């Protein structure tokens, strides 16, 4: 990322981070999704006097995607993705290839100065919906959890397909020679290799996380994990994106096994990292307007507007041409899918089709297009491809992002069933508390665990009500173990909390509660365990 002429101190970079964070913070006080406000602010700021030129460098931007993908995958559900195993590949692989060819062909027909090879490059660049944009706007819009899962799953792995298609189209455009057959082989190698690297890394990384006892060390490792997975995969010419996603899905699924202090700290650390990176990414999208307009002096404003509108409409129409058949054809062919998803109608694919926002991945790939083709000739219509990529990203973020909540309301799409979720949470808590009470009774019956009656009753009250409280601890010492009442209390508290935690995980694995509810319940236990195991003052 170029940052102007500042060399002694990265002032423009600090300005970018501070400004992006301020705007993102302000967006939280409005009903406008943060990404849209950041893009708009970037567009305005790009023409303000004194604002330096921020040029997307794909060699810098693409390696920064692992932490964003890691965070999105950690918050995803492995079980939910597995339950939608047929939907995600149809979108992340099938749709991306279809969009590459279809959008590229339409752009070739509409734009007179765009060669077919360059048009296919454009199609590959703007084919993949962006993980960051999809997650940020879909959740803000209040989409049902299943649709959000499908969009997340699609955007987590579709970059592999798009990058492979881009490489094949680019090779044809610059004259180095490439076939779709070789591209398919490259895709399979990247995909299988990326998954393989992720599978190889996920177990030892999780083992290491559970063996480290210092939360700061554990969270330092957590910050390194996405970069390590990405780098290892790229070194063996596999997909770093898929490696990051596989590792993060496994770590998220097994997060309950990590120390409670690490979970509490990790949640705050990754929330901060995601907030900063997401803010900077969307602000950078808006700041690219002056850059993409360079070299387009030969085109009129009306002409460029028509081309941009045509490509945007092609992106929208082509997505619907794929999403509707991909939703209903598998159901016609598979009785199992019909039994698992009996209530699917036209509203869900309508939302999925409209929620295909593009983002920084498309821009980063577009900026990686070389300026020269094979033999030293200028890459055909490179500046025009940059502009059409930029306009498509902006249009999908602004038009689709702003209208998505209204579309959900107009279709009366059922949101999250709060009553059902509350009932499931209450049932899970009841089952866990019952198990904890039984475990507590066993522990208190042991002479080594004798407590003064007030503390024993307090433990029972905490288990029954599961709420935060200020606990009074007596300083008596057990004649059996030599532990103080405070030490026994904390030890027993950990035992009953761990019992509840295991029940919650079992209920998640049995699909009686989902991963989001599991995280909510675990966080509640973590806070109580943190209170019971508060650090000594000054440590």
Kindly list the distances between the CA atom of residue 110 and the CA atoms of 116, 384, 387, 402, in Å, as whole numbers in the listed order.
11, 13, 15, 27
Contact 265, 219 (CB under 8 A): yes
From the list 418, 396, 514, 407, the residue with the least C-alpha distance to 141 is 407
Instruction: At 170, list the tokens.
Output: 């680019």
Contact 383, 184 (CB under 8 A): no
Instruction: At 273, list the tokens.
Output: 């990292």
Give the containing element (helix H, strand E) for 55. Answer: strand 54-55
Alpha helices in 334-452 (DSSP H): 335-340, 347-354, 360-367, 382-395, 401-411, 418-444
Give the containing element (helix H, strand E) for 3. Answer: strand 2-3
Residue 477 β-bridge partners? 484
- pLDDT value for 313: 96
Q: For every residue of 118-148, which 3-state class applies, written as one string?
A: HHHHHHHHCCCCCHHHHHHHHHHCCCCHHHH
Q: How far apart are CA 491 and CA 446, in angstroms?
A: 13
For β-strands 54-55 and 2-3, DSSP reports them as antiparallel
- pLDDT value for 131: 61
- Give me Rg for the CA atoms of the chain: 26
- pLDDT value for 469: 36
Phi and psi at 376, nearest 5°, equal: 95, -5
In tens digits, what is the pLDDT along the chain, a chain of 539 residues? 454 444 445 777 788 888 888 888 888 787 777 777 888 888 888 888 878 877 777 676 767 778 877 887 787 777 777 777 778 888 888 899 999 999 999 999 999 888 888 899 999 999 988 766 666 666 666 667 778 778 877 877 787 788 878 887 887 777 655 566 666 777 778 778 888 999 999 999 989 888 887 888 888 888 899 999 988 988 888 888 888 888 988 888 888 888 777 787 788 888 888 888 878 888 888 888 887 887 777 788 889 999 999 999 999 999 999 999 988 888 887 777 777 666 677 888 898 889 888 887 788 788 888 877 666 667 788 889 988 998 998 899 888 888 887 888 788 766 555 556 556 666 676 777 778 878 878 887 777 777 787 777 777 777 765 533 333 333 455 566 666 555 676 778 788 888 988 999 989 888 888 888 888 888 888 877 776 665 333 33
DSSP states of 157-173 as a string? HHHHHHHHHHHHHHHHH
Chain position carrying tokens 């339409």: 106
What's the distance, Cα to Cα, between the start and end of the chain in Å?
Answer: 40
Domains of the chain in start order, with CATH, are: 2-411 (1.20.1530.20), 418-532 (no CATH)
Contact 459, 451 (CB under 8 A): yes
Q: How far apart are CA 520 and CA 532, in angstroms?
A: 19
- pLDDT value for 513: 87
CA dihedral 181, 184, 185, 189 (to 10 degrees): 170
- Residue 296 is given by DSSP the state -
- pLDDT value for 92: 84
Q: How far apart are CA 147 and CA 165, in angstroms?
A: 26
Q: How far apart are CA 470 and CA 449, in angstroms?
A: 21
Contacts of 19 (CB under 8 A, 6+ apart): 41, 45, 283
> Does the global pTM surpass 0.85?
no
């Amino acid at each position: 990322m170029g940052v102007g002429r500042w060399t002694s101190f990265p002032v423009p970079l600090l300005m970018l981070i501070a400004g992006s964070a301020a705007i993102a913070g302000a967006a939280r006080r409005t009903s406008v999704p943060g990404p849209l406000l950041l893009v708009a602010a970037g567009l305005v700021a790009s023409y303000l006097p004194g604002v330096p030129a921020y040029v997307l460098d794909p060699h810098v931007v693409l390696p920064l995607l692992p932490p964003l993908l890691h965070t999105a995958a950690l918050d995803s559900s492995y079980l939910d993705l597995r339950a939608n195993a047929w939907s995600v590949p149809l979108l992340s692989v099938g749709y991306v290839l279809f969009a590459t060819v279809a959008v590229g062909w339409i752009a070739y027909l509409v734009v007179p100065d765009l060669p077919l090879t360059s048009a296919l490059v454009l199609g590959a660049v703007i084919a993949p919906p962006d993980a960051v944009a999809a997650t940020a706007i879909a959740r803000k819009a209040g989409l049902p959890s299943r649709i959000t899962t499908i969009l997340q799953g699609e955007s987590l792995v579709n970059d592999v397909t798009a990058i492979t298609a881009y490489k094949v189209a680019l090779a044809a455009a610059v004259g180095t020679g490439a076939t779709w057959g070789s591209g398919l082989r490259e895709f399979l190698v990247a995909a299988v290799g990326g998954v393989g690297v992720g599978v190889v890394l996920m177990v030892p990384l999780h083992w290491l996380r559970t063996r480290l006892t210092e939360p700061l060390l554990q969270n330092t490792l957590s910050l390194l994990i996405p970069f390590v997975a990405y780098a290892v995969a790229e070194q063996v010419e596999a997909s770093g994106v898929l490696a990051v996603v596989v590792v993060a899905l496994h770590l998220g699924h097994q997060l309950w096994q990590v120390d409670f202090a690490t979970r509490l700290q990790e949640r705050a650390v990754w929330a901060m990292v995601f907030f900063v990176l997401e803010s900077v990414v969307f602000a950078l999208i808006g700041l690219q307007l002056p850059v993409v307009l360079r070299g387009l002096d030969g085109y009129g404003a009306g002409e460029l507007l028509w081309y941009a509108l045509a490509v945007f409409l092609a992106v929208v129409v082509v997505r619907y041409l794929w999403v509707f058949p991909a939703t209903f054809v598998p159901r016609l062919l598979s009785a199992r899918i019909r039994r698992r998803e009996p209530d699917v109608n036209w509203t869900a694919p309508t939302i999925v089709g409209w929620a295909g926002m593009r983002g920084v991945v498309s821009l980063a790939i577009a900026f990686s297009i070389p300026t020269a083709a094979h033999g030293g000739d200028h890459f055909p219509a490179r500046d025009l491809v940059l502009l059409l990529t930029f306009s498509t990203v902006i249009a999908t973020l602004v038009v689709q992002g702003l209208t998505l909540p209204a579309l959900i309301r107009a279709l009366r799409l059922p949101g999250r069933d709060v009553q059902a979720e509350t009932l499931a949470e209450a049932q899970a808590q009841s089952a866990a508390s019952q198990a904890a009470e039984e475990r507590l009774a066993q522990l208190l019956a042991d002479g080594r665990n004798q407590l003064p009656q007030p503390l024993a009753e307090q433990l029972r009250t905490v288990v029954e009500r599961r709420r935060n409280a200020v606990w009074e601890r007596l300083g008596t010492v057990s004649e059996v173990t030599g532990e103080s009442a405070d030490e026994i209390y904390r030890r027993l508290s950990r035992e009953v909390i761990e019992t509840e935690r295991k029940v919650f995980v079992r209920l998640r694995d049995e699909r009686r509660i989902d991963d989001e509810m599991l995280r909510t319940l675990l966080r509640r236990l973590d806070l109580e365990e943190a209170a019971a195991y508060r650090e000594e003052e000054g440590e």
